Structure 1
Amino acid sequence: MDKSVAALTPVVENSKDWQRISPIALLFFTERLIKFFVSNLVAFLPALYFGYDGLKENPQLGLAIIVGILLFICLTTFLNYYFFQYRLTQDHIEIRSGVFSKKHINLPFSKIQNVKLEQPIYYRPFNYTCLQLDTAGSAKQEAQIVALKVDFAEQLKKEILAQYSITHHAESPDDSAELTPEAVENEIILNTRSIADLVIHGITNNRIWIFLGGLAPFFDKIASYIVSTFSDFGINIEQLLTFSDKPMWQITLYAVTLTFLILLPFIFFSIAGSVVTFYHYTLSKVGDRYIRRSGLLTKYEVSMRLSRLQMVIRQQDWLDLLLKRINLKFEQANNVLTQHQAGAQNNRIIVPSIFAHQCAALVDDVYPNNQMMTIAYQRISKRFLLRNLVFILLPLYSLVTVFLTVTGKTQLLWGITPLAIFAALLIFMRWYRWGYASDDNYIYIRRGFFGVDYLCFEHYKVQQVKFKQSWFQQRHQLCSISVVLAAGAINLPFIKADKGSAMLDEILYQVESSGKSWM
């Protein structure tokens, strides 16, 4: 055994007895439950909308509901804490949790590939942290101990990684290099983000339509409240918005000002979210392990072995294109299972709002000799436009037009026609962006609408391929292909059938002949 590996011998005492976590974990379970309610707030909006008048007439009913929710949170929090236990054996960690749905997780140290520490702000004064354990399996096999002393968690982390290193040392002598004390001391900082970068990231990644969609049922009440509020200050909004006697420049100014006022609070909210998530951001490298550290209220540490990297995504929305910024994502196994869960971006390797030269340096570091931005991409067939515009959108618009004309509601066409034109524009931009290419080592996909994403992954990472042909595609010698990686499926529609077949054959050949593991 290598001396550097043997130096990290197990130092955490084993115990046959189940251990309880600190009572400070009550704060953790409370926060998690509150996040659940907030993340599902849209689902409760219809009930709130229809029950608003009744609650207004019977405020005691609303008070009872609030008290009931608080009691439910307190009881659920206590039960989650009470039933959470863990036990350390010689080379395993066991975790029991759950109130009604019991969970018992038994993880060998040798199977744990990543150990992540998360320290919420309410843990810092007491020097506690959360220890998250990540295996190569599904997200359901991941586990966490929600309240450990920082020193003990760091000690346990070293022991787990040392055990993994010892187990795999014989298979790959270089696989454990990053776990040696010398390697840790030589940690390389690859990238950092300033507050200004995070502000730009918050602006360019603002998802205002999600909030506006959730508020849609309340627009009438919100409008009435705004009118009433301004009336209290002597401002007649209805008179200001009467455009019949106003010049066009004044109408335009009103529209721009109103739009800006509506967008402003959502932009501030998005910026705040970006700063909270990525504050004090660093991306570093130890051996073949990439480590992301960030977080204002909660400190996150996410690591990824290079062997676990499934795909690199170079992402630019339309505002990113204008500001010449790029969001780079390193997709690893399991991300497809967790990316829609609350806090998912905190568990991913994301480099927000970087410049083109910074992006190129990071991509070259993980994928040497890649041609992501220099290779010639082939567009998908124009018959994609024919199918979606001529055979789907145009007949649908024609049927709606005929129906509205027959029913005498032609005035609605002033609203439906712009929507149809916008849908046609989206379909065209989708075709215009969609492209593909490959070389001896990598496959490249380009896609998007008004923004553009570039995807790059290695042939041997593919786990499954699909070749599909509809009657329309078969008639015109076209096909759609799909490749499945541990990070998700990637679809490529309306390409030449012979090229699609050749690409899949090359992928299968690389998978069989390379002898490399996807993990």
Structure 2
Amino acid sequence: MDKPLNSPLDDTKNTADESLEPPLNVAHDWQRISPIALVYFVLMFIKNIFGNFIYVAPALLIGYNKAMEDPSFWLPVVYGLSALLGLASLLSYYFFQYRLTNQQIEIRSGVFSKKYVNLPFSRIQNVELTEPLYYRPFGYTCMQLDTAGSVKQEAKVVALKKTFAQQLKHEILAAHLIQSEQAESPSPESAVDNEAPVPNEGDETILDRRNLDDLVIHGLTNNRVWIFLGGMAPFIDQISSTIGEWLMMFGFNVNQYFEFEGRSGWQIASTVLSTFLIIMLIISIFSVLGSIIAFHDFKLSKIGDRYIRRSGLFTKTEVTMRLSRLQMIVRQQDWLDVILRRINLKFEQSNANFNNPQAGQLTNKIIVPSVTNKECQHLMLDAYPNNQLNEIKFKRVHPRLLVRNIFLFLLPISSFVTWVFIENENIEGLPYLAIGVAFIGFLMVMRYLRWGYAKDDNFIYVRQGVLGVDYYTFPIYKIQQATFKQSWFLKRKQLCSIEFVLAAGAVHVPYLPQEGGLELIDFSLYEVEQSKRNWM
């Protein structure tokens, strides 16, 4: 029997100038979103165009060169694209409608390709509220809804008044909590008790905050600007030429600086090293700025069994995740994190599309950046009280993994390169080759030493990494599939590899003793069958 669509917050007084949305209990007719959504649609179209950077890069490069030669030639193209962008945004806004009926939300959208989504509140697993910078002065937000099903069951209402979105979020979470409790206790008496609302905002407990110094450390230790530089590769010649001309205005000749003819070895090394340090400094500055923009005012809190993550400088994001949806915790450290004794903690939740992520898909993890070991342990025990990650002893994978990597990959390739150097009489390059081979061998040894696995009565733990180290912790009852893999070579040596598949992804452990691998799989599947617990 459907519950009337009345929010516990309906008694909040909203004047006509505060919200364009009707109260929840009268929003049964098809509603239009706010006209401010036009800005959202324009920016999303632009983002989608530049999101396919690899396809538009040649056109942008040609267009840039043409514009430099004859700027007026491209004016009609710019005007035409602007008009097309405006028309597409206007039509997207006009055809976007939603309504609330019988504890469900319906959304119609699309201009030429019509899309209709019908989501019962009880099936919605995640509610994400996003406040872009251009929404904030007007009090609007985007609401994204996600179920445990396919991407077709995800929905987004792109411009709701913030107060209305909070009421709707509260109603959705209340319906989902009631449905979950009724599934666990289906008796009529318990159904009456389950009419209690979800905990209110006053019950919120702050678990963790991140300060500016934490975000600076996170930006330095998790530098991802190389991805951006890779995307800029088609423009590198033009960019370097422009920078060179700009520096020439200040009397600095870049070409002369990199003219190595007649210089000694230490001068060349000094030039290369100083250039590398300058580039790394610039990259680090961009990375730190990115970290501050993404995690500004970070707060992780908890209400009942729900985790709530809020962060963002320009675009404020609020992500809600039920504890039952948590699939595994990842404790991640890059090499600089190891030195600074910081940890990036990831709460990975169920995501039916982890093998085929979609643009704009709801974030499937909560990241807590650059926490200390004590903070990390506190957060892990809050989610998984019985986990023993800090105390458990890991079993190392078989040494044949290292032997295979060295004799099958490193030695043949290095021998071939050495032969090429000798054939070309490049004897001076052999010491550098030896250093490179030794470094790669060191990385292979570290990779082998990092691999490890362990289990207790409730959890499985996996360790991996090279210079850094990552730990994966997940409850055994969350396992959906366990795979035993054994090639002809592994079978000869009585070895195997195993893979655990969870709703958040797969965790792989290579080169285990065959007996130990089978025992681990049998133990896991037995625990899954015996517990009969819902992975959601």
Name the TM-score, length of structure 1 as normaliser: 0.89
1:297 is aligned to 2:314? yes
Describe how 1:148-187 pairs up with structure 2 within 5 A.
148-172=160-184, 180=197, 183-187=200-204
In structure 1, what is the equivalent of residue 118 of structure 2?
106
In structure 2, what is the equivalent of residue 369 of structure 1?
386
Amino acid at match of 1:333: S
Describe how 1:397-476 pairs up with structure 2 within 5 A.
397-399=414-416, 402=419, 422-476=439-493
- Provide the secondary structure at the position in 1 that maps to 2:167: helix
Q: Which residue among 499, 503, 511 is the counterpart of 1:486?
A: 503
In structure 1, what is the equivalent of residue 398 of structure 2?
381
Structure 1 gaps, min length 5: none
The worse-fitting range, judged by mean Cα deviation, of 172-181 and 187-196 is 172-181
Amino acid at match of 1:86: Y
Partners of 1:462 and 1:24 in 2: CA distance: 44
Check the 8 A contact 1:161/1:179 in 2, yes or no. no
The worse-fitting range, judged by mean Cα deviation, of 317-326 and 208-217 is 208-217
- Provide the secondary structure at the position in 2 that maps to 1:297: coil
Partners of 1:236 and 1:158 in 2: CA distance: 62
Check the 8 A contact 1:312/1:456 in 2, yes or no. yes
Q: Which residue among 253, 256, 263 is the counterpart of 2:280?
A: 263
Cα distance change, pair 485–234 in 1 and its aligned pair in 2 (3 A):
same
| Post-superposition offset of 1:6 | 10
Note the alpha carbon deviations across 1:167-188, whole angstroms, 9 max, x for none. 2333347999998465531211
In structure 2, what is the equivalent of residue 37 of structure 1?
49
1:73 is aligned to 2:85? yes
Note the alpha carbon deviations across 1:83-124, whole angstroms, 9 max, x for none. 211121122211112233322111111111232221212112
Cα distance change, pair 458–468 in 1 and its aligned pair in 2 (3 A):
same
| Post-superposition offset of 1:430 | 2.0
Aligned identity (percent) is 50
| Post-superposition offset of 1:513 | 0.1
1:202 is aligned to 2:219? yes
In structure 2, what is the equivalent of residue 84 of structure 1?
96
Structure 2 gaps, min length 5: 11-22
Check the 8 A contact 1:308/1:518 in 2, yes or no. yes
Partners of 1:376 and 1:303 in 2: CA distance: 34
The worse-fitting range, judged by mean Cα deviation, of 16-25 and 462-471 is 16-25
1:512 is aligned to 2:529? yes
Check the 8 A contact 1:139/1:338 in 2, yes or no. no
- Provide the secondary structure at the position in 1 that maps to 2:183: coil
| Post-superposition offset of 1:446 | 0.6
Partners of 1:215 and 1:299 in 2: CA distance: 28
Amino acid at match of 1:301: E
Partners of 1:413 and 1:46 in 2: CA distance: 39
Note the alpha carbon deviations across 1:426-481, whole angstroms, 9 max, x for none. 43332221111111110001111211111100101000111111111011011111
In structure 2, what is the equivalent of residue 503 of structure 1?
520
Name the TM-score, length of structure 2 as normaliser: 0.86
| CA RMSD, Structure 1 to Structure 2 (Å) | 3.3
Cα distance change, pair 390–167 in 1 and its aligned pair in 2 (3 A):
same
Partners of 1:239 and 1:455 in 2: CA distance: 51
| Post-superposition offset of 1:283 | 0.7
Amino acid at match of 1:116: E
In structure 2, what is the equivalent of residue 359 of structure 1?
376
Cα distance change, pair 295–221 in 1 and its aligned pair in 2 (3 A):
closer
Partners of 1:158 and 1:518 in 2: CA distance: 24
Amino acid at match of 2:162: V
- Provide the secondary structure at the position in 2 that maps to 1:170: helix
In structure 2, what is the equivalent of residue 130 of structure 1?
142
- Provide the secondary structure at the position in 1 that maps to 2:149: coil
Cα distance change, pair 294–120 in 1 and its aligned pair in 2 (3 A):
same
1:279 is aligned to 2:296? yes
In structure 2, what is the equivalent of residue 394 of structure 1?
411
Note the alpha carbon deviations across 1:393-434, whole angstroms, 9 max, x for none. 433444455567668899988887766555444433322211
